[in-house]
Each structure stands twice: as structure tokens, then as C-alpha cells.
Structure 1
Amino acid sequence: MEHQPELYDVTIIGGGPAGMYAAFYCGMRDLKTKLIDANPELGGKMLIYPEKVIWDVGGVTPVLCRQLIDRLKQQGVTFDPAIVLGEQIASMDRQEDGTYLLTSSGGNIHWTRTVILCIGYGILKMAKLEIEGADRYEISNLHYTVQELELFRGKHVLISGGGDTAVDWANALEPVAERVTIVHRREQFGGHEKNIANMKASSVNVRTPYSVSQLYSSGGERIEEVTICHVDTGETERIKVDAVIVNHGMRSDFGPVREWGLDMGEWSANVSEKLETNLPGVFGAGDFVNYGSKVRLIAGAFTDAVLAVNSAKLYLDPEAPKVAYVSSHNERFKEKNKALGALE
């Protein structure tokens, strides 16, 4: 290498909740840390749902996803990790001394002693509405995510989809929109039972098993009506709409990651209970990993991050404590607490 890059103890790939919390916890373990993300900003998959209300993070009252992202960002930079945005890592090569060289698609090289993979489901793309010509409405009133609830105030909104996010959007829009119709091709909805029950008990017009079959526009610029079709009988119904929201899931693409020699299934990498991959010095956390007691919640991503960082620390220093001291006893927080006025 003409210019030797700086060596880090840990390099985290992925800037979602697992990656941001891992960066924070690396600071608690006194590890020199770098975080790299392919997106231009931190947040991971949460960036797709900024208006979604998050209820299930311990100790955090209901919070908008964008607010939780901001809090995780603030926490993640507590110990000043190096942060590199807008770089996708294309290759991960182990050197003779056991360190890794990470090379981005643009040719930038990063050098690290260990790696923690927090890349979720890879690069995500929303599954599009499979109706010819639907894409021309994406600049007007066909949406694949809800960035701002107020955009739909007083409108007739049709949601196509039946997963957790579609149900959440229906519940969030019900008090805002004039009318919400949700169309799902199966009788059963995915997602949390309580949220589904709340939706069915509200004024949301639930249509199952139906799918969207046609879009209509008199002027060609905006969808004005939608035809839904019963998937069993073929019966159709035409509905006037002001906006259509599609949530048919996401397609993931791990790209070059599958060429790195990891033990991977279709959707995730297999790791041990200590979040170790099959590659020495490489660990994982969050949606990217799978193990026997895996919990697929944001709260679970935080626990994954802690376990992965602790394993990285012990990989680097087998004599180190197995876990970090809690924040109330951790020396690294004393000055920070004083700055906050928490200590006299």
C-alpha cells in the first residue's frame, strides 16, 4: 500500500440501530472505532419509516422513528468514533497478521483488527406495484413510504399491503386522513396482534382478500381511482382515492458480501451465541445475523451489539473483562457526567 491507512481496533459496517449502538459500546470498551455506512446518513432501515411510532424499546416512551434515529446518533458519537458515510465496502481481505483490509467500491481502503457486520438485509429496495405505468405516478400520489403524516390530512388514502408496516401506517393515518382503506391479498395480516386488533376496531376500511388491479387518471398526472379485485372470485370494485401507499415488502441485495466467505442463509449470516461468524475476528449484530435465541426487535439489536463488541474485545485481548463496567461505574463517563452537571 502506497499510503498505509490508519489501523482501528474495530470497524463497524452498517449505521442502523445495531451499528450505532455498537459504536457507543465500543467506546465503553476503550476500542478505537470506525463506522462505515453506504448511505449518506446514519439510520439504516429506520430511515424508510421516519413517521413510524416506536413503542417497544425499553425505557423509551413512544417515539417517532426519526427521533429515535437522532437519539441513537447522539449516543453513537459519544466517544468520537470515526464515521465514514456514502461508502459501500466491496471486499474484506484478511492479511497474514490477522488484520483486515476493507476496500470500498470507490477504491478507498480501511484497515482494522476486527469487523462487526451490522448491515441488516443489505441494500434494500421497495417492492414496486406491479401494474404497467404505475411508476409515472411516483412523482405525484403513489407512495412507497410515509415520510410525513400531514401530507395525507383530510384525504382518501388507499394502502396496499398486509405486513407490520402497512398496519402501522393504517393506524397512524386513521385519525389524520378523511378515509383509510387497506387492501391485502390474504385474510390474515402480519405484524403485532395488538396493532392489527386496533386497526380492525377503528374506522379503517379493511378489504381482504383483495389486490390492486388497475389505476385510473383522467389527466394522466395523479391517480384518481383504483380498481381492487377479489383474489378468489375475481369480483372488482372501483374506489376513489387521493393517494395510494404501497407496502409490498422489500427486496434485499447483499451484493459482494456473499463473496466474503461467510456462512450465510438467504436472509442472514449464521453466528454463534457470542455473535461470532465463521471468520476469525469478524462478528455480526442486528438483522444481519441469525442464532438460536435471536430476537428481531430494535431492542434485540442493542443486545446483539453489546455481545458482538464484547466478543471483539476478548478476541483482541483475551485477558480483558468479559463485559464493560456499567455507565455509573465506568471511568470513561466521569468527566462527561460532570459536563452534564450530574456530579458535584
Structure 2
Amino acid sequence: MSVELFDVTIIGGGPAGLYSAFYSGLRNMKTKLIDAHSTLGGKMHVYPEKMIWDVGGVAPIKGQDLIRQLSDQALTFDPTVVLNEKVVSITRGENDHFILTTNSGERHWSQTVIIAVGSGILYPKRLEVEKTLNTPVKNIHYTMPQLKQFKDKRVLISGGGNSAIDWALLLEPIASEVGITFRKETPTAHERSVNELMTSSINIYSKHIVTDLVTDPKTNTVHTTTLTSIDTQDEIELSVDAVIINHGYEQDTSLLDESDLDLERKNDFYLAGTAECTTSLSGIYAAGDIISYPGKVNLIAGCFQDAVNAVNQAKKQVDPEADSFGTVSSHHAKLQNKF
């Protein structure tokens, strides 16, 4: 059977996967990128309006704009991009090539693989009380959509982590009223963000949880929420125009759980690797949050170095005579006619 063989196949379309696609093109590799979602960008879609400050050489930028720039860069050398396909297994075929099988049954052949799935395919943890409703409610949100839609609205945020606090602070000057509720005495967020929260005009309901939602059946929206004290069981009723939930995410780890290949794990999900982004199996590399090694930096900035290292390792696997490092981009012939 005739199959199309790629030099490298990248699993995951977040920052690590996107930069891997760009850099593998820079190294003249035949590249494919597969992502389970309908659009590129990965977890950054959770916070499209959030400002990102820690990418070197990039002025503070919204998540949605960084997605666009990374996606444009990733497509510079025309990699093959496959969306809405979830890789469920990786096996070895003839000539030691890898076969990647997706949930639709499609198979993809590659000489090397770069796993760049971040923390796995993420599904937001649902609000327990919402599960009792017959139909989805229009004004309950699990990601931060356009901020302008909350202008002059009464917004309640449930969650005490970094994203929940960031969302509350972003909405403070836009919404007419912002409240935040969480289970603990204090939020489990960065100290600076907590300090900003505590000195803001945001209504804080610590050690409370959302226990009831009153909806309007005509508009299918929530208009009243009930918060219950964890300590006393006392209740507070709040009128709301929107509810935002940030209780973390469920990780889909089936790619590693069901793979026929014995990849060494660091813990329940992360791959044990090296600073060169090799894994325990020759020909399989990893970049971004999925890989753990001494000195690992779990930031968007760190995933770019991971991507470069993973691609360089993959290039040497495909072509042992190749240079260990790629040509400096400003000297690269393929880029001379791009601008």
C-alpha cells in the first residue's frame, strides 16, 4: 500500500506545536500537524482577551492576537494541517516508521513524532448545580469571551485560581458589578493578583459555593444565583446577568494511556524527558507543558526552546548528516522572498 510519509508529525496546535511547525519548516522537513480542535491555538482559546506579558520581544498582547501571530508563523512553510482529529494511538510500522491513528480511524505515517499536547485535551469542569438543568444556559460561560459583552452587566465569577482572579480584575472597569466566590479563605492565585483583588471594588465571597441557579425559561438565562457558606450553610441570593465558571479542567490523557508504545511517564500525565526534548523512545520527542525535565520552564516563552530542541532532534533522526542546529533565520534562503 502506498502511503504518504512525513518527516515529522506534530500532535497539538498550541504554542509549542505551532512553533514546532514553523521551525521544522525552517529546517526543510516535510511536516504535518494534527489537532483535536477545530482551530489552532490550544489552551490560549481559554483566555482570548487576557493580556500576555511574558513572551520575549513581544509587547503585551491579547491571547487571541498571539494565537493569530503564532498560527500565521506556523504556516510559513505550508505544513499539512489536520484539524478535528484526535490522535488516539501511536504504533510502529515497517522500517520503524510511526503510525498515528485518530478517532475517525484515519492513519498517518511519520518518521518522527513531536508530542505537544500541553496538559492534554482539556474540558472545563462543569458547575455541579448546572448539571440539574434541562438545557444549557446561555449566560453561563466556561471561557472568557469578548469582554465588551459584559459592559454594564452584573457578573459573578466562581473560582479562586489565577484565571478566575485575572478575569475578575479585567471585568472590574467594564461590568457594572463583579463578584467572585471560592471555597477557601483566600484565593490560590499569585500574590500580586490576590493583593489587587483585595483592594478592588470586587465583591468577594470567600468560603462560599454556588448551590442554586434560577433561570428564565423564556430566555434560557440565569437571573439569580444562590451562594451557600461552607461553614454555616447560610445563603446569599445574588441577581446576575452572567456567570463565569473557572473550576479547572479535566485532562484527556487517552493518547498516552492507550498508546502501544512504552513512553516513560514523570507522573500521571507528563512525559519524562531531557532538556533536549527527547523521550524514552527514539524518534518521539516532546515540547511544551507535556514534557518534564530538570530546569523546565512552564511558560509560553519556555515552549519555544522546547520546540527548537525537539525539531533539531527530529531532523538528526531523519537525516543523521544534518547539522545539529538550524540556519539562523535572517540567513535562511527560504525566507528571503517572504517580505
**TM-score bin, normalised by smaller chain:** over 0.9
Deviations 1:64-84 (A, max 9, x none): 111111101110011111111
Shifted more, 294-303 versus 257-266: the winner is 257-266
| Match among 3, 17, 38 for residue 5 of structure 1 | 3
Q: C-alpha separation between the residues in 2 aligned to 1:335 and 1:30? A: 16
Q: Which amino acid aligns with 1:57?
A: V
Partner of 1:302, secondary structure, is helix
RMSD: 1.9
Q: Deviations over 1:36-76 (max 9, x none)?
A: 11111111111222222212111111211111111011100
Q: Match of 2:292, as an amino acid? A: N
In structure 2, how many angstroms separate the alpha carbons of the residues matched to 1:214 and 1:185?
Answer: 15
| 1:327 equivalent in structure 2 | 329
Q: Deviations over 1:257-309 (max 9, x none)?
A: 31222222223121122111112100011121111212111111112111111
State which of 37, 40, 43 in structure 1 corresponds to 2:38: 40
Does 1:222 find its partner at 2:230?
no
Equivalent residue of 1:68, what SS?
Answer: helix
Partner of 2:179: 181
Distance 1:218 1:35, change over 3 A: closer
Distance 2:258 2:115 in 1: 14
Partners in 1 of 2:269 and 2:189 — Cα distance?
19
After superposition, the Cα gap between the structure-2 partners of 1:167 and 1:79, relative to the gap in structure 1 and judged at 3 Å, is: same
State the secondary structure of the residue aligned to 1:30: coil
State yes or no: 1:240 paired with 2:244: no
Q: Percent identity?
A: 45
Output the CA distance in 2 between the equivalents of 1:149 and 1:195.
19
| 1:25 to 2:27 alignment | no
User: Displacement of 1:104 after TM fit?
Assistant: 1.9
How far did 1:136 drift? 4.6
CA distance in 2, matches of 1:144, 1:89: 25
| Secondary structure, counterpart of 1:279 in structure 2 | coil
Aligned residues: 335
SS at match of 1:74: helix
Residue from 117, 126, 142 that aligns with 2:124 = 126
Q: CA–CA distance in 2 between the matches of 1:289 and 1:23?
A: 17
- 1:155-200 deviations in whole A, cap 9, x for unaligned? 1111000111111110111111001011111123233333332222
1:92-131 aligned within 5 A? 92-131=90-129
Rate the CA distance shift 1:27–1:191 in 2: closer, same or farther, 3 A: farther
SS in 1 for 2:329: coil
TM, length-normalised to structure 1: 0.91
Match of 2:263 in 1: 262
Change (3 A) 1:135 1:52: farther
Mean Cα displacement is larger for which, 230-239 or 81-90? 230-239
Cα offsets for 1:218-275 (capped at 9, x unmatched): 6573322222222223332222211111110000112243122222222312112211
Give the TM-score normalised by structure 2.
0.93
Q: Does 2:277 align with 1:279?
A: no
Q: Residues 49 and 62 of structure 2 are in contact (CA less than 8 Å); yes or no, is this contact kept in structure 1?
A: yes
Partner SS for 1:226:
strand
Alignment partners' CA distance in 2, 1:166 and 1:321 = 45
Contact 1:227 1:237 survives alignment (8 Å): yes
**1:52-67 equivalence runs, <5 A:** 52-67=50-65
Please say which of residues 286-295 and 253-262 is displaced more in the overlay.
Answer: 253-262
Cα distance change of structure 1 residues 320 and 192 upon mapping to structure 2, 3 Å threshold: farther
Query: Following the alignment from structure 2 to structure 1, what is the Cα–Cα distance between the partners of residues 192 and 328?
Result: 34
Q: Name the amino acid aligned to 1:145.
A: T
Q: 1:72-114 CA deviation, whole Å, 9 max, x = no partner?
A: 1110011111111111222211124121111222222211110
Residues 192 and 60 (structure 1), Cα distance of their counterparts in 2 relative to 1, 3 Å cut: farther
| Runs of 5+ consecutive residues of structure 1 not aligned to the other structure | none
